[in-house]
Structure 1
Amino acid sequence: YPLARDHLSFPELLPEYEPHQVREVYLIQWEQPDLVVDITGTMDVKLKAITCHASQVGDFSVVEARMRARAAALGKPKGYPYAEGFDHVVVPG
């Protein structure tokens, strides 16, 4: 992301695409996130998307149970049924 502001890093881009400065980055974080986002409204969509990767999932019922449990544990302190955690990085500018 820091290179997005440098036009020399991506010379293959079309001229009409100007370099830009990324101001924030959200990195998935399972252990101790500094940002927790309510995903209750999209949990079923997330699980459905995972089923598209059947060769990598194995027994989906096990994966679904684990994903729901983890999302519920992350959401509980905030009062969300399901949540995802991130490290929120502000990029100096």
Structure 2
Amino acid sequence: MFYASINEAEGVRELQNFSKKWDDKYPIITDIWQRNWSGIAPLFSFPDGIRKAIYTTNAIGVPGEAWLNKEVKFLSGKGVTNQPELSFAYATAM
């Protein structure tokens, strides 16, 4: 996934690859990541070991759930109630 990329440019390319693979089935997920990119981009300024600790540790990732919960509420309000799609969005964000 893009968060394991070595820099932001590669992360953008990986997000585009993710989009090509999954947008037909789960179109909203790439949109969520793109709208929140300003909060994700600083991750690439950390060394690889620190970055890996951040994206693999739930305790550190918990503050990031706030925007995800907001997105799920937004999607639900727009009539998106497809549980697999919402679950996939959650899983990819964690």
TM-score using structure 1 length: 0.33
1 or 2 for the larger relative contact order (CA 8 Å, sep ≥6)?
A: 1
TM-score (normalizing by structure 2): 0.33
